[in-house]
Amino acid sequence: MKQAKILIADDEAAITTGLGAILEDAGFSVDVVADGQKALEALSAERYGVVLADLKMPRVDGLTLLRELQERQIPTECIIITGQATVDSAVQAMQQGAYDYIEKPLNAEKLNRLKALIPKAMDKYQVQQTNRELSSKLEGLTHYGELTGQSESMRSVYQVIEAVAPSTASVLILGESGTGKELVARALHTKSDRAKGPFFALNCAALPKEILENELFGHEKGAFTGSTNEKPGAFEMSSGGTIFLDEMAEMSPDIQVKLLRAIETRQVRRLGGKKEINVDIRILAATNKNLQKAIADGELREDLYYRLAVVEIDLPPLRERAQDIQLLANEFLARFGQQNSKTITGFEDAAWDWIMAYHWPGNVRELKNAVERAVIMSRGSMIGPHDIIPRHLRSGGEMPAALTIPVGATAAEARQQLVLRTFASTAGDAARTSKVLGISERDVRTEMLALLTEAGATEPERSSNGVPSAQKPSTATVSKPASPVRSSKPGKRTESVPPPRAASKKSTTKKGR
């Protein structure tokens, strides 16, 4: 990258002439202006990495110049030149964003300090300029490698990949199942200097301990019964490229020890072997586990974690990047329509309503599978709700209604209403309710029991937000404590239940049946 220029803004010709000559001798390209107004004009017309501005200048002084640079968002680093009597103002300039300040007179010592400051300020400018160019390039970007997404959270992921890929650092990719961790690993490999080398992906959770060790390190002939030939492991086969260890937290402790040694020494020894084999690899790893808990529980070695997590990339779940859902769904629709030789033009509004409202606990993988199934099952030119909604999430063929939370409601009240409405839409199935909402069955049951307890202590009319009282019998099956409320005889009343609650339950039971 070409080195940026320096702009000197000072009304003392002796200073600008002498300082300009010194900086040009040091290899910098320098322009000179006599006041702050001309400095603003020059900065608006051309880019400068560093501005050396006198604090006291005609027309526009140094502090005003600094404020204008920030308001107009002109990228540059400003070093203030000030006299002894204006040091307080220079400190104020630092607080307002100036890189540093130098006091007059500019003797040899201060000039040496200035010559040491300028390269640091120039480096800061270059880094920020690179980030600005990258952000501009990623703005509006919908695809990055095999990844799809234009949300702010995904652009942040792209920026980290772009910055880390050229290095040799180990990267740990974190995220829920189905978020695309392997796609991130492939993007890191493709953008690196190792792109022409092999990319070897290994799922550590899919193999038993003995087979995993053999897959990682290989074996020599005769190492165990049936090993009639030598076999190189993943480390050897990915030498010169990248090895991706998916679900790395599932490794047994003794394999973790061997892996740690291989990372540190860049050498491996095959099973049954006696010699060390040098390998040139970059290691990427991924997991959906809570690693701090895994370390605390002794499931993951802390030293291995720090070796693998030189850089961490945290992939957001699909529910936190809702603006990408429509983009992904349309892309999957086009892909699977072509693969299945079907002409499908899009999704019906009701299908979009469900797609955008659903929690997607399986993330992008679940959305992909749902669209593929819808394309296969669809008999028309549009995907309808019955094509896209899995059978186990349907409720009597009806779409779940929208839920309106009134202004002033607490978060707890909103959560209760959401659980209640979803519980009703799944016909009282706690397991399906937990899957739709992305919470545990225990949480569903706790919320429903809390609602039952509140119902017994309040008037029957308090079933608000449009939830029909006829839906409430399903709540009686949430757990055993609620069973005494359900009387098999309509006229019978249990003494331990308050009269308003018992009356409400008897009437709703009749309606529900």
pLDDT at position 467 is: 42
pLDDT at position 511 is: 42
Residues 6+ away with beta carbon under 8 Å from 60: 35, 36, 37, 39, 40, 68
Distances from the Cα of 246 to the Cα of 6, 125, 157, 167, angstroms = 49, 38, 18, 20
pLDDT at position 98 is: 85
**Interstrand relation of 171-174 and 282-287 (parallel, antiparallel or unpaired):** parallel
The CATH label, of 2.170.190.11, 1.10.340.30, 3.40.50.1370, 3.40.50.2300, for the domain at 5-135 is 3.40.50.2300
* Beta strand residue intervals within 369-467, DSSP E: 382-383
**Interstrand relation of 218-219 and 242-246 (parallel, antiparallel or unpaired):** unpaired
Are 48 and 74 a contacting pair, CB within 8 Å? no
Q: Where are the domains of the chain?
A: 5-135, 148-314, 320-389, 411-512
Which token pair is 64? 């005003």
- 148-314: CATH number: 3.40.50.300
What CA–CA distance (Å, rounded) separates 256 from 235?
Answer: 14
pLDDT at position 251 is: 92
How does pLDDT run along the chain (513 residues), one tens digit per residue?
Answer: 567 889 988 888 888 888 889 888 888 889 998 888 888 888 888 889 999 888 888 888 888 888 888 888 888 898 888 776 566 776 777 788 888 888 888 888 888 888 888 889 888 888 888 777 666 565 556 788 889 998 889 989 999 999 999 999 999 999 999 999 999 999 999 999 999 999 999 999 988 888 999 999 999 888 887 777 888 999 999 999 999 999 999 999 999 999 999 999 999 999 888 889 999 999 999 999 999 999 999 999 999 999 999 999 999 999 889 889 999 999 999 999 999 999 999 999 989 988 988 889 999 999 999 999 999 999 999 999 889 988 887 754 444 455 667 677 788 878 887 887 787 666 567 887 888 888 888 888 888 787 767 655 544 444 444 444 444 444 333 333 343 334 434 444 444 444 444 444 444 444 443
* DSSP bridge pairs for 78: 51
**Interstrand relation of 382-383 and 171-174 (parallel, antiparallel or unpaired):** unpaired
On the question of a common fold for 5-135 and 320-389, the answer reads: no
Specify the pTM. Answer: 0.56
Are 462 and 420 a contacting pair, CB within 8 Å? no
* Beta strand residue intervals within 336-440, DSSP E: 346-347, 382-383
pLDDT at position 486 is: 41
Are 209 and 255 a contacting pair, CB within 8 Å? yes
- The sign of the dihedral angle between the CA atoms of 60, 64, 66, 70 is negative
Residue type, 397: G
What CA–CA distance (Å, rounded) separates 340 from 428?
Answer: 37
Query: Is the domain covering 320-389 a CATH 1.10.8.60 domain?
Result: yes
What CA–CA distance (Å, rounded) separates 300 from 205?
Answer: 14
Tell me which residue has tokens 């607080």.
95
pLDDT at position 503 is: 42
